Copies of this chain bind each other. A is one copy, B any other.
């Protein structure tokens, strides 16, 4: 069991995820120092006033030179730029992790940039809200959620154990290990496809006239249509091939149901609905609340 109490941790990017990370660590774990790096001085000041962090920095030099763990909570592109321009500052043997929703390109690129004496493990906290910014950050968003870690063949066991321990310690219910490649394939289906579907559905011109007759099914299905455009454009274009592949499969599945309905094949339609009911119950049983 790794001891975190002698570790300095730096959060880079004090937004919804970074802020929630800092709050969760301060609330649940005993660490030596929890620092934050952000471009917005007011956010850093607020986080210090709220005793969420010990100290906030605009210039990352000092916290990076002295941090054993660095959690980067910015968009994919910013994450890469940050590591590139600060690669010399990281403490020797520092464990660095990101929180972006794509892994393959990120992990490859970062491992090419980073120094040999630092360790990077890609991470994806499967938690979020339809809002962004520190003011919405809250450690509760992690409760009962899943956190995906993408170790590579070179990832050392000790660092993986420490990171897993930290993640469980801040409230995540489940930590899943997935190669960057598998992660991106999976997320294209379980996360990016649903966002695209929600967007297509709600942009339907029919809704321009009026929004009466909208029930719970439509609302739940389009919840994520209220999307962070910049972030999701980045995520989807970085995972383009997988997303397009999943969209094709989905449109094919939908066409098959179309034919079943067109043929008025009630037996087959019932079968499809029975299968979907069984599947959906299964998900609730396996991942309750996460």
Which of A22-30, A56-64, A254-262 contacts the other chain?
Answer: A254-262
Q: If A198-B217, A232-B273 touch, does A247 touch B258 (CB 8 Å cutoff)? A: yes
Rounded to whole angstroms, the CA-CA distance of A146 and B213 in the bound complex is: 7
| In the complex, per-residue mask of A264-290: 1 if CB is within 8 Å of any chain B CB, else 0 | 101001101111110111111011000
Name the CB-closest residue of B to A218: B190
In the complex, are the beta carbons of A211 and B287 less than 8 A apart? yes
In the complex, are the beta carbons of B237 and A264 less than 8 A apart? yes
A37 at the interface (CB under 8 A from B): no
Contacts of A237 in B (CB 8 A): 261, 264, 266, 269
In the complex, are the beta carbons of A276 and B211 less than 8 A apart? no
A80 at the interface (CB under 8 A from B): no
Rounded to whole angstroms, the CA-CA distance of A195 and B216 in the bound complex is: 11
Contacts of A191 in B (CB 8 A): 213, 215, 217-218
Contacts of A183 in B (CB 8 A): 213
Contacts of A225 in B (CB 8 A): 276-277, 279-280
Pick the contact of A276: B187, B194, B199, B248 (CB < 8 A).
B199
Contacts of A219 in B (CB 8 A): 283, 287
Pick the contact of A283: B199, B203, B211, B258 (CB < 8 A).
B211
Contacts of A214 in B (CB 8 A): 146, 190, 283, 287
Q: If A199-B257, A257-B200 touch, does A189 touch B217 (CB 8 Å cutoff)? A: no
- A residues at B contact (CB < 8 Å): 126-128, 130, 145-146, 148, 174, 176, 178, 183, 186-187, 189-191, 193-204, 206-207, 211-227, 229-230, 232-233, 236-237, 240, 243-244, 247-251, 253-258, 261-262, 264, 266, 269-270, 272-277, 279-284, 286-287
Question: Mind listing 6 A-B residue pairs with CB under 8 Å?
Answer: A199-B272, A217-B223, A225-B279, A230-B270, A243-B261, A251-B254
Known: A196-B261, A198-B221, A203-B279. 18 other contacts (CB 8 A): A128-B215, A148-B212, A148-B213, A186-B206, A186-B213, A191-B218, A194-B218, A194-B221, A197-B197, A197-B201, A198-B217, A199-B276, A201-B253, A203-B272, A217-B223, A217-B224, A240-B262, A244-B258
